[in-house]
Structure 1
């Protein structure tokens, strides 16, 4: 066998240009060293560099080797013995597999966030301080696609990372110096493009992305000029062991894994079907025309004056702003209209498509000592960032929340009102799920459609519903307080009597997404927004959550009625 491999190797080197091959290899090694040193290497480059080092059998690795194992989106660095680094062991995979099984607990402890408080301490963060970056010198030129040479083919390449790290993965540099106003204007933050061009604002970022033909892979919301935001910050687990840790609660349904963490009692949430979207979609619910306007923009809908969909939003927004560089700073009372499937604008470049792209930020469901389950962000989030929608199943008023299977065609009307329901899980307690007395309230919005034609004054209204438990059975009757809606000018709207045929529930009791674990707070960091994506019928919006302020990694996400 050895003789065959030797003969094969000799034939290989006789057929190739030895000097050229080694020159290319040296260039590749220099690139890998630079990428790993500056924390911009891709997952494939990390693995490739590891294999090269281990196969080279360097002297410095003979007594004690370093093996980097790719798991999820993170790199776990572990110390292994010389025997485990031998080519025979690596080919067989026995030693490495055994070692990983023994060390899997430490991986769970080190790479997942487990703080029980709304704000974790500074020691609970891993702040990947930037290494000394290469000084980028700008030479006057017309920017083109060559200005971003490391641009991946698709934005999905960044999934699993903080969205704010995407520019750094493409060789951008972010400089933050709040005390230096000479070059970074007021915020003290500027970005350096790979070509050396300085970017001082989101508007300059958008123009550069258009000129460099990188808009669509990179978006303006991948950039933050808030000096309090650190893209390298990520929530880190404490030293205590995790009694329960799951990599992805959604089981692959979400584009970004939603981790589950419990270091208190090891229980899991009550079983439910994970659904990342509302069902049925608005296009199946509405009896009215699906879209009132469509756009034909060619500039990525960057000019709000020429985009018909953005103008539809602004007509009911008054002095409020729609999306600003794919962020929403405050709720819009009349709803927000995104570009739809009939618009001819390029989907990947469109600046008016945010909610329909789905979950992009990294979230974790975790157990709290006194509030049941909660959700926290694993990375810093800028103000106005879209987090997720409230997903569930749309039901009629007469349909039981416990029996959502019977669905009838829903009639169309005008206004949407979100009413909050508190329900307790029914049924016997199981060992693998949380006990009833520890279960957090489940928030189930209700969609109602009054008879009045109030299209121009849509407002999200929240009303609290109460529920009491008798013994081990959850209550079946829910008494609702009278819902209240207010116009944007503060005047009360007239109350209308709702018949069962005009009330619709967005039920997440058995089917829903991560938003079902959001808690309420008197100091929330999220706000609700009606967003229309699959229909412009004001009866059937998506209920979306956006950050109302900048949020640090490890902070619990909460909203208010």
Structure 2
């Protein structure tokens, strides 16, 4: 660890394999947790293993014989990079299913990426005009898993109640992911890192982000909201993602994912003004994404 890192503190308090660094004091308004936890109204504990495992005995699974890969398709390169970065960037998206605790394959299987947790050196820092932000202390190749957006998994009713109870000055951290799997099947996941969360809660929005969010199922039917590098990212570059998910809400033919806005976007029915976007992108829309669907 260099001299700069020695002056910083680990806000994860050792819960991550790699320290989450910060040199500015953070008011302890939340409990750090690397993974999703069961919140009010959530019927499934995200920590429980609820998905079946494969019976592969090889070091790394093959699509021809692995039940996990046959369910969701091969998602990762042998290096662990996400193969398709457009999974949530168009009308349709296919789910990612990793091998899990019940699988017979080894821990080095290429279909085990998100479950390994944070592997990069990240810093939480004070931006000039957006409050807290996150930047990388190392180069990140395109397709690399960066971190999760983890927090309490709550029901729609709980998520709606939490948003309605917020004041106009409070930040709203709730992400709503809606997955359509054909035949009218819809799965909604609401993640709120306000009280319990990880480094992902400090990520800012950008209209031209360098991260993309993909729901990844590992051990549980509750997806991990995984963030991957959408392009090569430079050392000390701020990490951002699109709070709207970059998807158009249309009736799907296969599987599609849409997201509602997260950090710093408070959606309320009483004439709430849209908040200005300060991402600084060349094609900035001028406002943070706004989605009122969670309130009705």
Alignment TM-score, normalising by the size of structure 2 = 0.68
Cα distance, 1:309–1:359 mapped onto 2, change above 3 Å: same
Distance (whole Å) between structure 2 residues aligned to residue 503 and residue 548 of structure 1: 24
Q: Does 1:515 align with 2:206?
A: no
Residue in structure 2 matching 1:553, options 235, 246, 263 = 235
Q: Residue 194 of structure 2: SS of its match in structure 1?
A: coil
Q: Which has the higher contact order (CA 8 A, sep 6+)?
A: 2
How far does residue 424 in structure 1 lie from its aligned partner after superposition? 6.4
**Aligned length in residues:** 232
Cα distance, 1:504–1:528 mapped onto 2, change above 3 Å: closer
How far does residue 312 in structure 1 lie from its aligned partner after superposition? 1.2
Q: Deviations over 1:398-452 (max 9, x none)?
A: 336888xxxxxxxxxxxxxxxxx799689xxxxxxxxx6xx8x443113568xxx
How far does residue 257 in structure 1 lie from its aligned partner after superposition? 0.5
Say whether the 8 Å CA contact 2:210–2:233 is kept in structure 1. Answer: yes
Distance (whole Å) between structure 1 residues aligned to residue 43 and residue 57 of structure 2: 26
Say whether the 8 Å CA contact 1:423–1:443 is kept in structure 2. Answer: no
Say whether the 8 Å CA contact 2:159–2:174 is kept in structure 1. Answer: no
Q: Residue 200 of structure 2: SS of its match in structure 1?
A: helix
Unaligned runs of 5+ in 2: 88-92, 245-296
Q: How does 1:39-188 map to 2 (within 5 A)?
A: 73-74=1-2, 107=3, 111-112=4-5
Q: Which residue of 2 aligns with 1:327?
A: 81
Cα distance, 1:456–1:400 mapped onto 2, change above 3 Å: closer
Distance (whole Å) between structure 1 residues aligned to residue 70 and residue 20 of structure 2: 35
Q: Does 1:274 align with 2:27?
A: no
Distance (whole Å) between structure 2 residues aligned to residue 544 and residue 555 of structure 1: 19
Q: Does 1:340 align with 2:100?
A: yes
How far does residue 364 in structure 1 lie from its aligned partner after superposition? 0.3
Say whether the 8 Å CA contact 2:136–2:238 is kept in structure 1. Answer: yes
Cα distance, 1:401–1:517 mapped onto 2, change above 3 Å: farther
| RMSD between aligned residues | 3.4
Q: Residue 157 of structure 2: SS of its match in structure 1?
A: coil
How far does residue 246 in structure 1 lie from its aligned partner after superposition? 3.7
Q: How does 1:471-490 map to 2 (within 5 A)?
A: none
Q: Deviations over 1:188-212 (max 9, x none)?
A: xxxxxxxxxxxxxxxxxxxxxxxxx
Say whether the 8 Å CA contact 1:295–1:343 is kept in structure 2. Answer: yes
Q: Residue 69 of structure 2: SS of its match in structure 1?
A: helix
Q: Which residue of 2 aligns with 1:544?
A: 226
How far does residue 355 in structure 1 lie from its aligned partner after superposition? 0.4
Q: Which residue of 1 aligns with 2:217?
A: 532
Q: Deviations over 1:533-555 (max 9, x none)?
A: 112x3xx2111000011111101
Residue in structure 2 matching 1:455, options 157, 181, 184 = 181
Distance (whole Å) between structure 2 residues aligned to residue 393 and residue 387 of structure 1: 20
Q: Does 1:374 align with 2:133?
A: yes
Higher strand share: 2
Alignment TM-score, normalising by the size of structure 1 = 0.37
Q: Does 1:307 align with 2:55?
A: no
Unaligned runs of 5+ in 1: 1-72, 75-106, 114-244, 315-320, 404-420, 427-435, 458-493, 497-501
Distance (whole Å) between structure 1 residues aligned to residue 164 and residue 82 of structure 2: 28
Distance (whole Å) between structure 1 residues aligned to residue 124 and residue 31 of structure 2: 15
Distance (whole Å) between structure 2 residues aligned to residue 423 and residue 446 of structure 1: 17
Q: Which residue of 2 aligns with 1:156?
A: none
Q: Which residue of 1 aligns with 2:190?
A: 505
How far does residue 505 in structure 1 lie from its aligned partner after superposition? 2.8
Q: Which residue of 2 aligns with 1:294?
A: 53
Q: Does 1:254 align with 2:16?
A: yes
Distance (whole Å) between structure 1 residues aligned to residue 164 and residue 139 of structure 2: 30
Distance (whole Å) between structure 2 residues aligned to residue 290 and residue 551 of structure 1: 35
Distance (whole Å) between structure 2 residues aligned to residue 331 and residue 269 of structure 1: 37
Q: Residue 509 of structure 1: SS of its match in structure 2?
A: strand
Say whether the 8 Å CA contact 1:422–1:442 is kept in structure 2. Answer: no
Q: Does 1:444 align with 2:204?
A: no
Q: Deviations over 1:448-506 (max 9, x none)?
A: 68xxxx4359xxxxxxxxxxxxxxxxxxxxxxxxxxxxxxxxxxxx899xxxxx96531
Cα distance, 1:559–1:350 mapped onto 2, change above 3 Å: same
